[in-house]
Amino acid sequence: MKLFDVYPVNDITIVKARGSYVWDDLGQQYLDMYGGHAVISIGHTHPHYVERINKQLGLIGFYSNSIRIPLQEELADKLGKLSGYPDYQLFLCNSGAEANENALKLASFHNGRKKLVAFRGSFHGRTSLAVAATDNPKIVAPVNETDNVIFLPFNDEEALLEYFRKNGSEISSVIIEGIQGVGGIHAASDGFLKTIRKCCDEHGSVFIADSIQCGYGRSGRFFSHDHSGVKADIYTMAKGMGNGFPVAGIIISPSIKATHSMLGTTFGGNHLACAAALAVLEVIEKEELIANAQVVGEYLMTELKKIPQLLNLRGRGLMIGFDVPDSLKDLRKNLLFNQHIFTGEAKPNVIRLLPSLALRKKDADQFLEAMFEEIQQCMEQKDPVTV
Ligand SMILES: Cc1ncc(COP(=O)(O)O)c(C=O)c1O
């Protein structure tokens, strides 16, 4: 049987990983400034993470949600404390798209409405309602098309207020990434998030903060939406939550009540997933990784600003993006194959940095030196010195 060929892959086989580094099958070491798409939060194969998962696997890996799983309560307690939302309620599932599906569905159960507002440039996943709320027609199949999703311009307070003035009573929820990731690292402004809060409060709509890429400490706060000082009703999370183990969840404001069977999952919240998620939070707390993301992120940002060829430098903490001019369109490829550094891309000519929250200053320096070298070489090829 062949694999269903949906991914354009780099011809590299990674066989080993540690901290912010990975190694291929030929022994070549790479610096990972991409974190496998923002997934690696505490660093690859962290010893505490490996030990906790191994230990749990020797006890019990899985049983369904038909029995008590105290590890879920332990996880809810720890997550509540570390995120600063101890009074919220936790529902566990398996992936980012599933977290958003559950959040959107729960909002609709809560207020009995059908319509939701999403924003231009958004990415919320590839399953039915999550993909319908994603601003990319190429990945929306005919069966996913719906009139229930309204796209409004990102960061346009007036357009949002106007839409709510006319249609507020129909809107079940508003979903927004605190920092758009796939869309190219664009932060929602504080004023915009405050306006969403105001509209939702005035019209009985649910504010959903998609924190799947920008959450879990990446921005230097637990949720990137926290920078604005407003609270959402539901936060969705995945990626960094399991440091590579597939675990996701939503945390839900106390004002939204649960009834039996309104949500459910076979695998979500299994013993092994909880052990992985707990290990991640324990390391984030012990090693103060959210503060590290802020400090190393600021350092990277300051140093990157000194490179005049990089355009529109943006982001927060260890979620950084910049545009490169056409003359540097191969920069990402050259970083990978000449300098052995993984970075991410958004659309052509946007580079995204999404490293582990445990990235050290010396790792950042290695990246910066490689950037200088690659840019220098590109410039020399463009303007060869004539002798
Ligand atoms: C903001 C955001 N939401 C949702 C998702 C979907 O997550 P998953 O791929 O785990 O379904 C992603 C994935 O990149 C994302 O970046």
Distance from the alpha carbon of residue 275 to the mean position of ligand 1, in angstroms: 22
In a domain, 200, yes or no: yes
What's the pLDDT tens digit per position in 24-49? Answer: 999 999 999 999 999 999 999 999 99
In a domain, 229, yes or no: yes
Same domain, 23 and 108: no
Pairing of strands 179-180, 186-187: antiparallel
Same domain, 103 and 206: yes
Ligand 1 probe mutation, 123, 179, 237, most atoms within 8 A of CB: 123
Same domain, 112 and 21: no
Same domain, 117 and 252: yes
Same domain, 225 and 318: no
Whether 32 is in the pocket of ligand 1, judged by its Cβ within 6 Å, is: no
What's the pLDDT tens digit per position in 172-199? Answer: 999 999 999 999 999 999 999 999 999 9
Which residue positions in the chain have pLDDT lower than 50? Answer: 386-387
pTM over the 0.75 mark:
yes
In a domain, 195, yes or no: yes
C-alpha span between 155 and 253 (Å, rounded)? 24
What integer pLDDT is reported at residue 387 of this predicted model? 37
Whether 213 is in the pocket of ligand 1, judged by its Cβ within 6 Å, is: yes
In the chain, the number of structural domains is 2
Smallest CA separation from ligand 1 atom 9, residue: 96
What integer pLDDT is reported at residue 383 of this predicted model? 67
Contact (CB, 8 A) for 134 and 123: yes
Whether 181 is in the pocket of ligand 1, judged by its Cβ within 6 Å, is: yes
Distance from the alpha carbon of residue 59 to the mean position of ligand 1, in angstroms: 31
What integer pLDDT is reported at residue 355 of this predicted model? 98
Distance from the alpha carbon of residue 362 to the mean position of ligand 1, in angstroms: 30
Smallest CA separation from ligand 1 atom 13, residue: 125
Same domain, 148 and 278: yes
Same domain, 147 and 72: yes
Same domain, 275 and 165: yes
What integer pLDDT is reported at residue 378 of this predicted model? 82
Ligand 1 probe mutation, 119, 239, 319, most atoms within 8 A of CB: 239
Ligand 1 probe mutation, 122, 213, 250, 352, most atoms within 8 A of CB: 213
Whether 101 is in the pocket of ligand 1, judged by its Cβ within 6 Å, is: no
What integer pLDDT is reported at residue 385 of this predicted model? 54
CA 102 to chain centre: 17
In a domain, 81, yes or no: yes
Same domain, 116 and 100: yes
Same domain, 56 and 113: yes
In a domain, 136, yes or no: yes
What integer pLDDT is reported at residue 381 of this predicted model? 79
Smallest CA separation from ligand 1 atom 3, residue: 124
Whether 211 is in the pocket of ligand 1, judged by its Cβ within 6 Å, is: no
* Domain around 218: 47-286
What integer pLDDT is reported at residue 208 of this predicted model? 99
Same domain, 177 and 212: yes
- Where residue 161 sits, what CATH number does that domain have? 3.40.640.10
Same domain, 178 and 302: no
Report which ligand 1 atom has the smallest distance to the Cα of 130: 4
Pairing of strands 350-353, 115-119: unpaired
C-alpha span between 357 and 348 (Å, rounded)? 26
In a domain, 8, yes or no: no
In a domain, 305, yes or no: yes
In a domain, 9, yes or no: no
- Where residue 310 sits, what CATH number does that domain have? 3.90.1150.10
What integer pLDDT is reported at residue 346 of this predicted model? 86
